[in-house]
Amino acid sequence: MELTLVRHGEPVRGADAQARFDPGLSERGRAEVRRVAEFLAGEHHDAVYVSPLRRARETAEPIAELTGLQPVVEDGLAEFDRKVGYTHFEDLRDSGDPRYAAYLAADLSPWETDAETFRREILAAVDGIVERHPGQRVLLVTHGGVENVFLAALLDIPGMAFHAPAYASISRVLAGSGGRRTLISINETGHLRGIRAEGSGEQPAPAGSVSR
């Protein structure tokens, strides 16, 4: 079967404290997800799974509208920040916040979890989806950290920040029996041409990492 991973669009800035904890999409983020939805509507998919976080659910909405598929919420696709709330990673980087260095070092204690727990939850969720959809094509609407961990495990790359997936980017994986996984593409962004791209936000890639 084939997995198509979609990162959420750009989250909104400047919301009140409650909205910042689990933000929706910015105006540009909505433009990004409309583009990715229109692009994916030209392909056949059998199911859509989505993280429970608002930025991912709002990314899945136009995909559902154009494909006619009802997104299924999968808790195991949620980002590691689910307990403490969202922060734009470019803000952490630019301000010298120690959480930025912690993430690059695979230390998730500032987010009240750890890298191994996060990895185990992601792989279990994806394995369950693969088992439920043999021979089918499935969309996963999720987050940069989730994609990094899942693809790093597939490629046997240590750590959890080997690349910086763009907002509303696409990656594709073939998932066979016996846990076999084959990477088809990573960080597709051609469908986003014309939308100004800034730093991808959540998961910055460390120096020497795979470029996009």
Angle at 36 between CA 34 and CA 41, to 5 degrees: 95
CATH number of 2-8+22-70+98-180: 3.40.50.1240
* Average pLDDT score over residue span 123-135: 96
pLDDT at 205 over 50: no
pLDDT tens for 18-60 read: 777 899 999 999 999 999 999 999 999 999 999 999 999 999 9
One-letter amino acid of 191: H
pLDDT at 207 over 70: no
Query: CA 93, 98, 103, 108 torsion: positive or negative?
Result: negative
Q: What is the pLDDT of residues 74-119, one digit of tens each?
A: 999 999 999 999 988 888 889 999 999 999 899 999 999 999 999 9
The mean pLDDT value of the chain amounts to 89
Contact 143, 78 (CB under 8 A): yes
Q: What is the pTM of this model?
A: 0.90
- Order across the sheet with 170-175: list the strands: 72-73, 47-50, 137-142, 2-7, 170-175, 181-188
- Average pLDDT of span 124-149: 96
